[in-house]
């Protein structure tokens, strides 16, 4: 049984040819995930109809702690580059990194117009400016509910959904073969802080008209019930603010504007001064307050340089680095390695974010460092200090029942979550044959009569080394070809397991990036650099492998780029003997 009504005939082009005779003719639409399925991050979905394509989202993925020498992972888009003229636009659902993070790397080879909400584009613009790409990129602001024609075959519309960042949208994609709703990330918050409600009306109207396919967020398909709201988080944070005797630190995703509002309001109510650590955090505050999405209590804001002038019990510090990224402000604070911000016994840290898969280890380590210092830690597993931005099962059911698609495509999740999403729909009476579990690269061709996987295109991961927020310099793609061009450098440090001191001088091994004549001097120079850097690190930095590796890479990378303009892959190896 399929719950969906049959689509009205006028949403279909005349059936003159057999359905698959022309491949991507107007009779059918193709859906091709280029990233984001069976993995966390890197969301990118291609829609093809009548020989034209649009792409929804263009996200990046953060490397696992054990992916050395890599700052970012982006989707391989070679399948789009084969016929670049087919791509008419990239449409963005919202401004999270896993939805827009790959754009600076992909736009130079696919310079198409980018559609998104005002907030999403403001965020993207700031990002593109860092890469000198803002001026040459055509940004088209989408008003909610308004239709925009793209190419000859697509009409797109942004439908407001609630999420952890303002300006989020589900995208309705009208094609001659039918309408597709691509949710992006969403939750159904009935009491949004901003007052901008989830647009049930438009989704329900579209459902009534007929929806060929729903491509929907699966992140929390294994969590029963409904998500909590920001107001709920605020209620549970209240006692932490009123009872903390000393400095209060808080880390969260640097794009969580609503959570920031909650924190700033509480800091103000509890007579604390607000310090912001981390450029990504500052950037969000700047954009969100300028667009009216964040009310910043200006008289409460202080710079981190002024921290000593405020007594600890009146400090509230917002620090970037909720995933314990090794060079982030929060990680440095926890290790006692931050220049201005010191954390001491009796202080408290609120970790107001979920743990992204793959980051459990560094986060546990960071928490251990904090406990060792006598700091109280309120993490989101043990305390009610975080609410997810992704729908739980009951919300997912609500969405399916108002959109009533003919086909359902679970998206945005690992295999387990995609499966649970499928089971949920089957439990609602959906025919298992109308639910498609796609993998990256699958080409699903569908129309009102049938849907099936007809092809597979090349997909993959491209590793990026170089440009992270706050850094300047060129970007290096770490594929095989670039590796052979840029060469590599390995720094081996033998450390006494008992004392934590170097047992001998670091060893430097290079492959293919230095000129033979200068090599001996350069190797001596790099050896001194590594030794001096190591000896200058606080003992806690030295003891934390992830942080130590990241710090050593940073020092070497900066030195080599500045003095030699080379971009080798840098791998520190620390052996405890």
Q: Which residues bind Zn ion (CB under 5 A)?
A: 96, 185
- In whole angstroms, the minimum distance from the beta carbon of 222 to Zn ion comes to 18
Contact 283, 291 (CB under 8 A): no
* Residue among 122 and 476 whose Cβ is closer to Zn ion: 122
Please state, in angstroms and rounded to a whole number, the distance separating the CA atoms of residues 336 and 502: 21
Question: In the complex, what is the shortest distance from the CB of residue 97 to Zn ion, in angstroms, rounded to a whole number?
Answer: 9
CB of 433 vs Zn ion, minimal distance in Å: 30
The conformational region for residue 489 under phi > 0 = left, psi -120 to 50 = alpha, else beta, is beta
Q: Measured between alpha carbons, how far is 314 from 335 in angstroms, rounded to an integer?
A: 22
Nearer residue to Zn ion within complex by CB, 378 or 392: 392
Q: What is the DSSP string of 30-56?
A: EEEEEE-BSSSS--EEEEEETTEEEEE
311 token code pair: 């007594």
CA distance 47 to 7: 19
Q: Give the list of residues 6+ apart from residue 294 with CB closer than 8 angstroms, or none.
A: 257, 260, 261, 264, 285, 288
Q: How far is the CB of 389 from Zn ion (least distance, A)?
A: 6
| Closer to Zn ion by Cβ: residue 96 or 421 | 96
CA distance 317 to 347: 11
Structure token pair of residue 89: 């636009």
Nearer to Zn ion, 99 or 461 (CB): 99
Q: Closest distance between Zn ion and the C-beta of residue 59, in Å? A: 9
**Backbone torsions φ then ψ of 199, nearest 5 degrees:** -85, 75
Q: Among residues 96 and 422, whose Cβ is nearest to Zn ion?
A: 96
How far apart are the C-alpha atoms of 159 and 200, rounded to whole Å?
A: 9
CB of 161 to Zn ion, least distance (A): 10
DSSP for 324-372 reads --TTSHHHHHHTT--SS----TT-EEEE-SPPPTT-HHHHHHHHHHHHH
- Residue 291 or 573: which CB sits closer to Zn ion? 291
Q: Cβ–Cβ contacts within 10 Å for residue 451, how many?
A: 21
Nearer to Zn ion, 349 or 353 (CB): 353
How far apart CA 571 and CA 495 sit, in angstroms, is: 16
Q: Which residue, 115 or 378, has its beta carbon nearer to Zn ion? A: 115
Contact assessment for residue 510 and residue 543, using Cβ atoms and an 8 Å cutoff: no
Cβ-based nearer residue to Zn ion, 30 or 96: 96
Report the nearest approach of Zn ion to the CB of residue 362 (Å).
Answer: 21
Least distance in Å: CB of 220 to Zn ion? Answer: 12
CB of 253 to Zn ion, least distance (A): 9
């Amino acid at each position: 049984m399929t719950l969906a009504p049959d689509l009205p005939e006028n949403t279909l082009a005349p059936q003159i040819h057999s359905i698959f005779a022309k491949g991507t003719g107007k009779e059918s639409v193709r859906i091709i995930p280029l990233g984001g399925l069976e993995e966390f991050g890197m969301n990118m979905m291609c829609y093809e109809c009548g020989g034209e394509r649009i792409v929804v989202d263009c996200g990046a993925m953060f490397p696992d702690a054990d992916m050395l020498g890599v700052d970012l992972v982006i989707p391989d888009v070679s399948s789009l580059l084969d016929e670049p003229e087919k791509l008419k636009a990239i449409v963005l659902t919202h401004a999270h990194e896993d939805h827009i993070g790959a754009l600076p790397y992909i736009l130079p080879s696919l310079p198409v117009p980018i559609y998104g909400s005002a907030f999403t584009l403001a965020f993207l613009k700031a990002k593109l400016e860092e890469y000198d790409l803002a001026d040459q990129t055509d940004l088209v602001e989408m008003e909610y509910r308004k239709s925009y024609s793209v190419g000859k075959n697509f009409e797109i519309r942004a439908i407001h959904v609630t999420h952890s960042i303002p300006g989020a949208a589900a995208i309705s994609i009208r094609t001659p073969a039918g309408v597709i709703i691509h949710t992006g990330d969403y939750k159904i918050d009935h009491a949004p802080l901003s007052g901008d409600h989830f647009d049930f009306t438009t989704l329900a109207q579209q459902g009534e008209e007929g929806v060929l396919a729903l491509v929907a967020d699966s992140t929390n398909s294994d969590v029963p019930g409904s998500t909590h709201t920001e107001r709920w988080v605020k209620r549970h944070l209240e006692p932490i603010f009123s009872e903390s005797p000393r400095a209060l630190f808080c880390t969260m995703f640097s794009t969580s504007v609503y959570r920031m509002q909650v924190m700033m309001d509480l800091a103000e109510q509890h007579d604390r001064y607000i310090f912001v650590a981390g450029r990504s955090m500052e950037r969000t505050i700047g954009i969100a307050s300028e667009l009216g999405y964040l009310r910043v209590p200006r008289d409460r804001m202080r710079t981190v340089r002024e921290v000593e002038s405020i007594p600890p019990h009146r400090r509230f510090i917002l620090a970037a680095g909720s995933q314990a990224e090794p060079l982030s402000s929060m990680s440095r604070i926890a290790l006692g390695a931050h220049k201005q911000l010191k954390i001491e016994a009796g202080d408290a840290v609120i970790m107001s974010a979920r743990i992204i898969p793959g980051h459990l280890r560094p986060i546990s380590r960071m928490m251990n460092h904090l406990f060792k210092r006598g700091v109280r830690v309120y993490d989101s597993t043990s305390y009610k200090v975080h609410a997810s931005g992704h729908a739980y099962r009951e919300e997912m059911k609500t969405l399916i029942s108002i959109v009533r698609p003919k086909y359902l495509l679970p998206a945005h999740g690992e295999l387990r979550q995609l499966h649970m999403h499928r089971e949920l729909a089957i439990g609602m009476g959906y025919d298992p044959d109308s639910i498609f579990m796609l993998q990256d690269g699958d080409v699903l061709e569908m129309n009102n009569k049938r849907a099936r996987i007809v092809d597979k295109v090349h997909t993959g991961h491209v590793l990026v080394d170089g440009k992270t927020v706050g850094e300047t310099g060129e970007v290096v793609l770490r594929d095989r070809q670039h590796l052979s061009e840029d060469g590599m450098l390995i720094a081996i440090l033998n450390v006494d397991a008992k004392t934590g001191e170097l047992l001998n001088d670091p060893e430097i091994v290079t492959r293919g990036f230095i000129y033979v004549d200068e090599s001996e001097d350069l190797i001596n120079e790099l050896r001194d650099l590594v030794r001096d850097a190591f000896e200058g690190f606080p003992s806690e930095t030295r003891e934390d492998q992830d942080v130590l590796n990241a710090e050593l890479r940073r020092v070497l990378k900066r030195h080599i780029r500045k003095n030699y303009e080379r971009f080798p892959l840098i791998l520190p190896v620390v052996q405890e003997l």
